[in-house]
Structure 1
Amino acid sequence: MAEPGDAAAFIRDAPFEVLKALLGRLSPKWILRMRSVCRAWRGKLCNEALLSRLNRAEPPQPLLCFDRVACADRYIHLSDYCVESLDLRSGKLRAVFRFTDNEDYFIDEYDLEGRDAPPIMDDYVVDYERMKHYGDAILKPHVTVHASLDGYLLVSFSSRRRWYIINPATRHWVSLFDPTTFGLDVIGLYEHGRTGKYHVLCLSRSYTTVRDQEAPTCSYHVIEVRPGQRRCIGRPLSPAVRKDHGLGAGVERASISPPIQWKRGNMDLLWPPQQSQGYHLLVFNTWNENFSWTRPPPVTLRDDQHMRLLEFPDGNLGLSVSRENVATLDLWCLQDYRNKVWVLKHQIQLALQQMPALLQDEHLWIPAVVSPEGDVLIESRYGLFHCDRNGNLLRRFWFNQPRSGHRVLPIRHVLRKSLVQHPMFRPRPSKNAAEPPFFRWLCSDPSCSW
């Protein structure tokens, strides 16, 4: 049996790879409890540099948002909403948060192709013209995941119109005022390059008539999570930029087309190519708070393409390029950020013969690369298909079953669990603060792995 001094020395001097392998086998709950075992573990597991490194080493897990009917009684409007992460290696789903509620909201039942996130409305701000546009609407509660960064999620929920940044692993949270109150669309969450504080980037739209047509003009705003201040930064351009490629036209919401923060140099925030930006990659310098653009990979750009940014383990940026109902996908890597050198990492041809449901389906199915290893998830009305980088089917998940009232919403974000307790979560909210319902459910469910 090892002496206490030997054990403490091993914990103190253990290589990172050993700690990574050891802690990777434990749930966050048990890792946090290990801080009470001895001083050596407490010193190691309270080291934010180590915890940040463990967070970066975590494999990305796509987030799946489920909407279920929680009660079969037609007279009881009770709905269940949950967010789960998909472990691509094991194929297991892990609960991130979940709650059941019976408050009424209007959301579009048929808006599953990813052009817009389901709206959150209450009885006092119902847009009846929007309801006429969508047609039949259903009353259900809803949560929207707006951003995922460093293991933290920016979410909004309920007709109370409350917004939170939460850490599902440690169950810490901080509230944020509702940006939509000021007519703002959230387009990104980022860590500020100078201060290390987390900010939310938003835009406001106004419309002017040009040649008998309405044209949008956008201004950009920064919300500091703590102390919750909002300031308008206008449309600042980098001094090196000679042309506005579409900054005034704005970008899509982060819940639809999420950006990614490149944690090197200026810690830039980048968006995937969008039509409003002339299919350039919009770049926001988080140090100087100005915008610029960079070139996309040498691909033929089309309006029906889906492009998503991801991060490789070595810190390089990746871009997934796919098309609706097309079995070929590309994964590009930006190997030289300064000189804009893109390299085709994987070209994936899906083995559709293994998925006959897609061949017979006349409806939309959307493939996307969701990991640096080339894992592909295919969203369809028949469920979710998980393929490897060779295009072979690994597993199938049976979702989107209208008769059971069970569906999965479009995949937008990935999550890497983090045990870092950022200062924005301190001090703890007062007992009188309105607590999100997410963690009440997790604490009462013994099967929850988070």
Structure 2
Amino acid sequence: MAEAAGAAEVAPLHGGLPDEIVVWEVLVRLPPKSLLRCRAVCPAWRRVTSTRDFLLAHHDRQPSLPLLCVYCYNLLSAYGISLDVIPFDHRAGLAAVDQLKSIARLGKSYFGVRASCDGLLILCGLYRNLDYSICNPATRQHARLPQLDGFAFLGMYPHSPTGEYRLLLEKPSYAPAIQGGYYVFTLGSDQPPRRCPDDAEHMIQELSAVLFRGSLHWHVEQHGTASNMIKVFSTTTESFRRMRAPALPGKAHLFEMDGTLGMSSFNDAATTIDIWMTQDYESEAWALKYRVELLATAEVTVMFGIGRFDGRWSVAPSLDGDVLVLVEFGDWLIQIDMDSKVVASFQRALRCTDQLRLKQSLVPHSFFPTLEGYVVNDSPFM
């Protein structure tokens, strides 16, 4: 067993516990910052916690948390504004201050978060929407992606046949020089994005994709009519197909929960969130699992001094096995349970990031040093 072998190769780490327990039951469960601090305790801990096998196991044990962002005015930033990346740790018993701890602050925060995959974040320009970079907030690595100039970003995925990380892009048909359609770019490659077979009849409009069963999924919006179409991209064959969904009006968000694909949407009056789950993924059968009633406008005004829904919400699996619903009301972020009751509320300008979740990782990636403007623990990190 690789884990046991890795532990046995080092000197005893703790006089009272077997090395295998210390390494594979204690250290492997620490948050990334705590694990990095523990490496200063002794050389043996530093050696064993730096192996790839250990770091993969450590990443596997990190919680997958809803990702929130905060844009703050900051005099230390050359741009006058900074971006805090905040995983929402909603485990029971944590104080509010511990639930919303920033893991990274970016000083050049014309960046917004567009994708999260294996602890990596794709950032885009908030004002220049086609300006992209990649970062790992746990290792504080950052690099630009100038090869993506002129493309629209659609998704990020690990390509299982090669082990590479790839980006799915879209080039509008009216764009100059390059044929319109879908393209794939491999991180670390010196080759330009390559065109892949596409299905141009239903263009992708949702900001973030859900990686489920080795495929990226997007709900396809149709203006003026309810949409029952999901566009699916196989990350193995790198080809598209279509999937049926409940016919829902307006914007809908996809999410993954306990091996099941889910979808949430607001009703026309924006007073109810419907949550659908696949009963059988292969036969594309869906069922309505929850209907969450938002607080009436009068109640919201009384409780929070506001009466306006901002149109952003997030639905994700909770760490206790239920569904987590977050809704933005003015400067408040409100957590609501399946009985339509307020579980928690935060008076901060927290922003949901289109169903994105972050599972932190210290696993090294060889592509980072090959990218333009690569830095570690330097600007834009603050």
Q: TM range, normalised to the smaller chain?
A: 0.7 to 0.9
Identity rate of aligned residues, in percent? 26
The reply to whether residue 308 of structure 1 matches residue 308 of structure 2 is no
Q: Which residue of 1 aligns with 2:189?
A: 227
TM-score w.r.t. length of structure 1: 0.66
Q: Which residue of 2 aligns with 1:369?
A: 315
Residue 377 of structure 1: CA displacement? 1.0
**Alpha-carbon distance in structure 1 between the residues aligned to 2:34 and 2:66:** 23
Q: Which residue of 2 aligns with 1:8?
A: 19
Indicate if the aligned counterparts of 2:184 and 2:193 stay in contact, CA closer than 8 A.
yes
* Residue 348 to residue 55, structure 1, CA distance change in 2 (3 Å): farther
Q: Which residue of 2 aligns with 1:115?
A: none
Of 301, 307, 321, the residue aligned with 2:265 is 321
**Alpha-carbon distance in structure 2 between the residues aligned to 1:56 and 1:307:** 29
Indicate if the aligned counterparts of 1:331 and 1:346 stay in contact, CA closer than 8 A.
yes
Q: Which residue of 1 aligns with 2:301?
A: 356
* Residue 319 to residue 57, structure 1, CA distance change in 2 (3 Å): farther
**Alpha-carbon distance in structure 2 between the residues aligned to 1:42 and 1:77:** 40
Gap regions ≥5 residues in structure 2: 1-12
**Greater shift after overlay, 145-154 or 317-326?**
317-326
Of 76, 97, 102, the residue aligned with 1:95 is 102
Q: Secondary structure at the match of 2:360?
A: coil
The reply to whether residue 172 of structure 1 matches residue 141 of structure 2 is yes
Q: Which residue of 1 aligns with 2:123?
A: 155
Equivalences for residues 40-439 of structure 1 within 5 A: 42-43=47-48, 46-48=51-53, 51-52=55-56, 54-71=58-75, 78-89=80-91, 90=94, 91=96, 92-100=99-107, 142-157=110-125, 163-180=132-149, 183-207=150-174, 218-236=180-198, 247-252=200-205, 257-262=207-212, 264=213, 267-275=214-222, 278-296=227-245, 298=246, 300-303=247-250, 306-312=251-257, 314-323=258-267, 326-352=270-296, 355-356=300-301, 361=307, 364-372=310-318, 373-399=322-348, 407-412=349-354, 413-425=356-368, 427=369, 433=374, 437-439=379-381
Deviations 1:360-402 (A, max 9, x none): 6256444442334222111122421122232211222223xxx
> Match of 1:189, as an amino acid?
M
**Alpha-carbon distance in structure 1 between the residues aligned to 2:255 and 2:362:** 22
Indicate if the aligned counterparts of 1:332 and 1:344 stay in contact, CA closer than 8 A.
yes
* Residue 58 to residue 96, structure 1, CA distance change in 2 (3 Å): same
Residue 234 of structure 1: CA displacement? 4.5
Deviations 1:180-210 (A, max 9, x none): 3xx21011111113112111111111259xx
RMSD: 3.7
**Alpha-carbon distance in structure 2 between the residues aligned to 1:269 and 1:167:** 21
Gap regions ≥5 residues in structure 1: 102-140, 209-216, 237-243, 400-406, 442-450
Residue 351 of structure 1: CA displacement? 4.6
Q: Which residue of 2 aligns with 1:127?
A: none
TM-score w.r.t. length of structure 2: 0.76
> Match of 1:172, as an amino acid?
Q
How many matched pairs? Answer: 351
Indicate if the aligned counterparts of 1:322 and 1:367 stay in contact, CA closer than 8 A.
no
* Residue 39 to residue 362, structure 1, CA distance change in 2 (3 Å): closer
* Residue 32 to residue 99, structure 1, CA distance change in 2 (3 Å): closer
Q: Secondary structure at the match of 1:251?
A: coil
Residue 60 of structure 1: CA displacement? 3.3
Indicate if the aligned counterparts of 1:329 and 1:369 stay in contact, CA closer than 8 A.
no
Q: Secondary structure at the match of 1:10?
A: helix
> Match of 2:140, as an amino acid?
R
Q: Which residue of 2 aligns with 1:31?
A: 35
Residue 83 of structure 1: CA displacement? 2.7
**Alpha-carbon distance in structure 2 between the residues aligned to 1:370 and 1:261:** 14
